[in-house]
């Protein structure tokens, strides 16, 4: 794959070089007089093309590194977010169950309190009933004794 890319770049270079040389035909006369001639221009163009190819290769590597780094950061942040979300959901579930347990305990406590109050009121009614009964028995016995005493006095008099 790297060889194919290099061959392709080489053909691009040849095309660019031929276009460049055709555009410089008028300016080549000054180089033709030198002992190196068009070889110097060809070497400069070749070096420029190679440097551009190296720069684009480096830019592609840097872009790939940026993509990999951004994906890694995204994955790391997503993992952290999901962990925090799961923890929040667990805390909320615990809080809901805690509130429900508190509500159940409050209902049980209120029910117990109501039953205890009912028993106390019932006990008060029983005590009041016995007290009133005892008062009435005393009053009745006192009246009975008074009547018996009066009858005894009436009979004996």
User: On the CB side of 100, how many CA atoms lie within 13 Å of its CA?
Assistant: 6
- What are the domain boundaries of the chain? 2-156
d(CA 6, CA 12) in angstroms, rounded, equals 10
d(CA 122, CA 113) in angstroms, rounded, equals 14
On the question of pLDDT at 108 being above 70, the answer is yes
pLDDT tens for residues 13-64? 777 877 777 776 655 555 555 556 677 878 888 889 899 999 999 999 999 9
Residues sharing a CB contact under 8 Å with residue 20, sequence separation 6 or more, in sequence order: 45
Residue 37 gets the label, from left (phi > 0), alpha (psi -120 to 50) or beta, of left
Rg for the chain, CA atoms, rounded: 56
Q: For residue 71, what pLDDT is reported?
A: 97
On the question of pLDDT at 99 being above 90, the answer is yes
On the question of pLDDT at 6 being above 70, the answer is yes
- Yes or no: say if 9 and 53 are a contact pair by the CB < 8 Å rule: yes
- Yes or no: say if 28 and 41 are a contact pair by the CB < 8 Å rule: yes
């Amino acid at each position: 794959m790297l060889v194919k890319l290099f061959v392709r770049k080489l053909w691009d270079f040849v095309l660019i070089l031929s276009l460049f040389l055709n555009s410089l035909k008028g300016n080549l006369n000054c180089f033709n007089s030198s002992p190196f001639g068009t070889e110097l221009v060809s070497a400069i163009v070749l070096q420029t093309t190679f440097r551009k190819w190296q720069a684009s290769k480096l830019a592609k590597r840097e872009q790939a590194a940026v993509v990999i780094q951004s994906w890694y950061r995204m994955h790391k942040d997503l993992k952290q977010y999901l962990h925090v979300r799961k923890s929040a959901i667990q805390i909320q579930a615990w809080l809901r169950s805690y509130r429900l347990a508190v509500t159940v305990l409050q209902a049980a406590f209120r029910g117990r309190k109501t039953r205890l109050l009912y028993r106390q009121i019932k006990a008060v009614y029983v005590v009041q009933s016995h007290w009133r009964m005892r008062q009435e028995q005393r009053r009745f016995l006192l009246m009975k004794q008074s009547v018996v005493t009066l009858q005894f006095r009436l009979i004996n008099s």
